[in-house]
């Protein structure tokens, strides 16, 4: 006690007071600093003022548009059909009229009836109603196509998968089953989380494909997500019927071995899968869908870290405002925003660079088309001259492989620019397989006494080609007309009534 | 001298418990400040650090959509790199300024770079792009050296590089700067199989 007293007496009260005050000030500033950090963290969450509350699975793009007017306005420009390039654009093109050989290549399969270069995302629903491939179902369980065909058509799909309880329940049944439900075209909720606006995956097939490859999609970076949201649909897929009872027509990406054309072909061969049997050559065929993502990953842009959105949804300035352009289309429509962010060449030079690559790949593609068509026609002649199954087996596999490699390139939107080297390599394989088939066919036909060239059918127009493979086009068109006049208006009316009851919660 | 100073700060035994508790509170508060402000992230070069404070979102978003994002992060341009002491001194000075402006809510609607920052950015343009203004074969400067090097700033002409021309706080109202979580929604995780 004595010591303590003497110690405290030694210190002037002013020292204690100033020590106290300094500590108070330091703690006050520290506390203030910490509390402003927390406040402004919270403030960041309310940086923008949404007009309406978006429910989970809100499918109506125009409702999202109330909160994000610039993004929505630019999205609406996907309705434009005014832009043509030599190999693409945003207008509908009748691909079968441009390449009538394709009718023969797809003989016996829906694509020989009708195949158009698609229009913008806004038209997803209209175009699937209109195509002859979906035919004219008269009842929910009628028609040639399964429900799975809706999967990529709009944000009603994840809503329905959730409502029905599982993706399998959505895929089951015929296409006409969801006609009243899937009415909003590809839009906001297909790629965005309704609460955070973060990019998100809404199609189970992509998550499952990543799992099958032993990858975890939830580890994807933001930059990777800017391509992966597109890869939900712009990929090769097939309808898996290995468990037909519980999971019919289950949408699956054949990515187990990887997503190169060889790996996917091996996958299909291993499970003995074919999309259809060719009506002319009887070959077990594969239809490549649109391996856009797969081809893009082999290109130089992907290798340099450029995502789909960097070119197809470039950042734009409008007055003082910047936003990502949601007018998803050919970047050749806005070269200055898409290409010239990185490339300082003139617009004319850049366009030439693109067209050069596309034209050169198209040259090979046209060659492969002709050779594959010849192979199909020659195979038919072999069958007609009593060739046996055993004699034809290897030949038919060559045709299957050749057409798969051709289609891998032909079906990939923009693939000839995304990855010209890979596209050319794969077309080289297509030509090789087609010619292999034809060499073997020539030998086989020689044993049957046929040594002259097999005449090439007149395929100068789509109509002649369709007549050649025996398609009843008038009947198909009539069915479609009835469907569009009688069924679709009912679907639309019922959907409008259902949506009128959906809430719109204002903020 | 120091011993004496420390000794003079030692509280009398009667007060020691209280002082220890108070010191603990201050230390705890400091740790919380470090945690809430993600103080450790400022030692890194990650561009995400610069959007810890959300008013830098326009700067992040415009950079992230530019060609520079593949080759240069914030610090590559905005912090000097000629020697490590200058790097961290500059970083510390900048950081103090930003923290105080942000705490006092003095940040302007349009953020403009200060003179010291301008010099650093110009130095860094040259650091990477020196091949454009010197002639390697002759180990000398090209004839346009003066024009392009000393007379003006790179972005007097290259005005859009890399942030674009408009940089106000409200210019990128919906930009998604990194606050990302798992992109797979729960319902897909739970509904599968």
pLDDT-wise least confident of A39-43, A84-88, A373-377, A435-439 = A39-43
Among A21-30, A345-354, B7-16, B131-140, the range of highest mean pLDDT: A345-354
Backbone angles phi, psi at A89, to 5 degrees: 120, -165
Say yes or no: B61 and B138 in one domain: yes
Q: What would the mean pLDDT of A354-359 be, rounded to a whole number?
A: 97
For A227-231, the CB contacts below 8 A with 24+ separation are A227/A293, A227/A296, A227/A302, A227/A307, A227/A308, A227/A309, A228/A199, A228/A201, A228/B183, A229/A190, A229/A191, A229/A199, A229/A200, A229/A201, A230/A292, A230/A293, A230/A308, A230/A309, A230/A312, A231/A206, A231/A293
Q: Answer yes or no: do A196 and B179 touch at CB < 8 A.
A: yes
Which helix (H) or strand (E) element contains residue B189? helix B186-191
pLDDT at A483 over 90: yes
pLDDT grade for B144, boundaries at 50, 70 and 90: low
Task: Give a yes or no: residue B92 inside a domain.
Answer: yes
Q: How far is CA A26 from CA A19, A197, B32, B79, in A?
A: 11, 40, 15, 29
pLDDT at A464: 95
Q: What would the mean pLDDT of B42-71 be, rounded to a whole number?
A: 86
pLDDT at A6: 47
Choose among A222, A315, A320: nearest Cβ to B180. A222
Nearest CA in chain A to B8: A11
Report the alpha-carbon distance of residue A325 to residue A308 in Å, rounded.
12
Where is pLDDT greater, at B138 or A448?
A448
Say yes or no: B62 and B27 in one domain: no
Q: What would the mean pLDDT of A57-81 be, rounded to a whole number?
A: 94
Say yes or no: B115 and B139 in one domain: yes
pLDDT at B1: 65
Say yes or no: B80 and B113 in one domain: yes
The interface residues of chain B toward chain A in range 148-167, judged by CB-CB distance below 8 A, are: 164-166
Which residues of chain A lie closer than 8 angstroms to B26, CB-CB?
A: 23, 26-27, 30
Say yes or no: B57 and B108 in one domain: yes
Report the alpha-carbon distance of residue B111 to residue B55 in Å, rounded.
9
Parse chain A into domains and list their residue ranges. Answer: 69-506
pLDDT at A50: 81
Say yes or no: B89 and B29 in one domain: no
Report the alpha-carbon distance of residue A54 to residue A70 in Å, rounded.
17
Mutation test of the interface with chain A: which of B33, B184, B186, choosing the one with the most A Cβ atoms within 10 A? B184
pLDDT at A4 over 60: no
Residue pair A278/A285 in contact (Cβ under 8 Å)? The answer is yes
Nearest CA in chain A to B161: A341
User: pLDDT > 90: what percent of chain A?
Assistant: 82
| Full residue range of the structural domain in which residue B2 is found | 1-38
pLDDT at B138 over 70: no
Say yes or no: B23 and B73 in one domain: no
Which residues of chain A lie closer than 8 angstroms to B14, CB-CB?
A: 4
Q: Is B174 on the interface with A (CB under 8 A)?
A: yes
Choose among A71, A217, A315: nearest Cβ to B183. A217
Choose among A44, A68, A208: nearest Cβ to B174. A68
The interface residues of chain A toward chain B in range 408-447, judged by CB-CB distance below 8 A, are: none
pTM of the model: 0.85
Report the alpha-carbon distance of residue A332 to residue A351 in Å, rounded.
7
Mean pLDDT of chain B: 82
Task: Give a yes or no: residue B187 inside a domain.
Answer: no
Interhelix angle A347-384/A389-410, rounded to 10 degrees, is 170
Choose among A30, A166, A310: nearest Cβ to B29. A30
pLDDT at A7 over 70: no
Nearest CA in chain B to A33: B103
Say yes or no: B4 and B55 in one domain: no
The pLDDT tens digits for A429-462 are 999 999 999 999 999 999 999 999 999 999 999 9
pLDDT at A114 over 70: yes
pLDDT at A98 over 90: yes
CATH code at B170?
1.10.3820.10
Distance from CA of A339 to the nearest CA of B (A): 10
Residue pair B118/B129 in contact (Cβ under 8 Å)? The answer is no
Mean pLDDT of chain A: 92
The count of domains in chain B is 2
Q: Answer yes or no: do A198 and B166 touch at CB < 8 A.
A: no
Report the alpha-carbon distance of residue A272 to residue A10 in Å, rounded.
96
Choose among B102, B168, B183: nearest Cβ to A198. B183
Q: What would the mean pLDDT of A402-406 be, rounded to a whole number?
A: 98
pLDDT-wise least confident of A114-118, B9-13, B63-67, B100-104 = B9-13
Say yes or no: B32 and B52 in one domain: no
Say yes or no: B7 and B73 in one domain: no
Nearest CA in chain A to B69: A305
Report the alpha-carbon distance of residue A75 to residue A56 in Å, rounded.
20
Nearest to A232 by CA among A191, A268, A182: A191
Q: Is A222 on the interface with B (CB under 8 A)?
A: yes
Task: Give a yes or no: residue B97 inside a domain.
Answer: yes
pLDDT at B185 over 80: no
Q: Answer yes or no: do A218 and B70 touch at CB < 8 A.
A: no
- Cβ pairs A/B, distance under 8 A: 134
**Count of residues making up chain B:** 193
Choose among B12, B33, B65: nearest Cβ to A33. B33
Cis peptide leading into residue A194 (ω within 30°): no
Q: What would the mean pLDDT of A107-124 be, rounded to a whole number?
A: 94
Task: Give a yes or no: residue B180 inside a domain.
Answer: no
pLDDT at A3 over 50: no
Which residues of chain A lie closer than 8 angstroms to B158, CB-CB?
A: none
Task: Give a yes or no: residue B166 inside a domain.
Answer: yes
pLDDT at A30 over 80: yes
Find the Cα–Cα–Cα–Cα dihedral A276, A281, A286, A289, rounded to 10°: -90
pLDDT at A199: 92
Task: Give a yes or no: residue B99 inside a domain.
Answer: yes
pLDDT at A133 over 60: yes
pLDDT at A477 over 80: yes
Q: Answer yes or no: do B183 and A342 touch at CB < 8 A.
A: no
Task: Give a yes or no: residue B188 inside a domain.
Answer: no
pLDDT at A16: 79
Task: Give a yes or no: residue B192 inside a domain.
Answer: no
Say yes or no: B111 and B59 in one domain: yes
Nearest CA in chain B to A309: B65
CATH of A69-506, one of 1.10.1130.10, 1.10.260.40, 1.10.10.10, 3.40.50.970: 1.10.1130.10
Choose among A4, A199, A341: nearest Cβ to B183. A199
């Amino acid at each position: 006690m004595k010591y303590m007293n003497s110690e405290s007496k030694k210190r002037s009260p002013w020292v204690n007071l100033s020590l106290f005050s300094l500590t108070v000030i330091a703690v006050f500033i520290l506390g203030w600093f910490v509390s402003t950090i927390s406040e402004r963290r919270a403030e960041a969450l309310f940086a923008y003022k949404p007009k309406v509350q978006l429910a989970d699975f809100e499918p109506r793009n125009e409702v999202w548009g109330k909160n994000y007017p610039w993004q929505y306005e630019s999205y609406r420009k996907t309705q434009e059909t005014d832009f043509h390039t030599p190999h693409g654009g945003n207008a509908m093109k009748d691909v079968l009229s441009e390449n009538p050989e394709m009718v023969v290549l797809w003989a016996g399969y829906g694509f020989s009836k009708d195949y158009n270069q698609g229009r913008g995302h806004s038209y997803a629903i209209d175009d699937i109603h209109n195509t002859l491939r979906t035919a004219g179902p008269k009842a929910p369980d009628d028609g040639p196509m399964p429900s799975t065909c809706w999967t990529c058509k709009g944000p009603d799909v994840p809503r329905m998968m959730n409502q029905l309880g599982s993706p399998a329940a959505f895929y089951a049944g015929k296409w006409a089953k969801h006609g009243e439900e899937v009415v909003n075209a590809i839009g906001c909720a297909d790629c965005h989380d309704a609460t955070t606006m973060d990019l998100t995956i809404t199609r189970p097939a992509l998550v499952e494909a990543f799992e099958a490859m032993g990858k975890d999609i939830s580890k994807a970076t933001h930059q990777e997500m800017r391509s992966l949201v597109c890869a939900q649909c712009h990929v090769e897929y097939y309808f898996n019927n290995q468990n037909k009872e519980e999971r019919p027509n289950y949408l699956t990406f054949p990515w187990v071995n990887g997503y190169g054309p060889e790996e996917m072909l091996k996958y299909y061969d291993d499970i003995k899968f074919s999309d259809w049997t060719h009506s002319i050559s009887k070959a077990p065929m594969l239809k490549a869908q649109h391996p856009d993502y797969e081809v893009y990953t082999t290109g130089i842009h992907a290798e340099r870290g450029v995502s789909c959105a960097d070119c197809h949804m470039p950042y734009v300035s409008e007055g003082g405002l910047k936003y990502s352009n949601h007018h998803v289309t050919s970047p050749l429509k806005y070269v200055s925003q898409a290409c010239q962010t990185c490339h300082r060449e003139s617009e004319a030079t850049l366009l030439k660079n693109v067209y050069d690559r596309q034209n050169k790949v198209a040259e090979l593609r046209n060659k492969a088309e002709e050779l594959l068509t010849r192979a199909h026609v020659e195979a038919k002649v072999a069958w007609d001259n009593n060739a046996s199954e055993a004699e034809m087996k290897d030949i038919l596999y060559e045709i299957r492989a050749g057409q798969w490699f051709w289609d891998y390139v032909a079906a990939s939107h923009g693939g000839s620019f995304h990855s010209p080297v890979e596209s050319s390599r794969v077309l080289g394989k297509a030509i090789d397989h087609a010619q292999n088939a034809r060499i073997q066919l020539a030998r086989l036909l020689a044993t049957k006494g046929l040594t002259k060239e097999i005449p090439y059918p007149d395929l100068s127009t789509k109509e002649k080609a369709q007549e050649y493979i025996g398609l009843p086009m008038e009947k198909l068109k009539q069915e479609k007309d009835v469907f569009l006049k009688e069924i679709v208006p009912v679907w639309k009316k019922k959907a409008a009534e259902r949506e009128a009851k959906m809430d719109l919660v204002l903020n | 001298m120091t011993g004496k100073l420390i000794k003079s700060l030692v509280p009398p035994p009667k007060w020691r418990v209280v002082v220890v508790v108070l010191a603990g509170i201050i230390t705890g508060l400091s740790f919380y400040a470090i945690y809430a402000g993600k103080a450790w992230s400022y030692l890194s070069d990650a561009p995400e650090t610069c959007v810890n404070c959300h008013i830098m979102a326009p700067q992040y978003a415009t950079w992230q959509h530019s060609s520079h994002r593949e080759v240069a992060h914030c610090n590559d341009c905005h912090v000097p790199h000629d020697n490590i002491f200058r790097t961290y001194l500059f970083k510390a000075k900048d950081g103090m300024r930003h923290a105080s402006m942000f705490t006092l809510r003095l940040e302007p609607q349009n953020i403009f770079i200060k003179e010291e920052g301008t010099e650093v950015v110009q130095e860094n343009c040259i650091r990477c792009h020196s091949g454009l203004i010197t002639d390697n074969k002759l180990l000398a400067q090209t004839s346009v050296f003066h024009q392009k090097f000393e007379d003006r700033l790179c972005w007097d002409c290259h005005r859009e590089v890399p942030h674009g021309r408009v940089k106000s706080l409200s210019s990128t109202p919906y930009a998604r700067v990194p606050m990302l979580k798992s992109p797979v929604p729960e319902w897909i995780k739970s509904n599968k199989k």
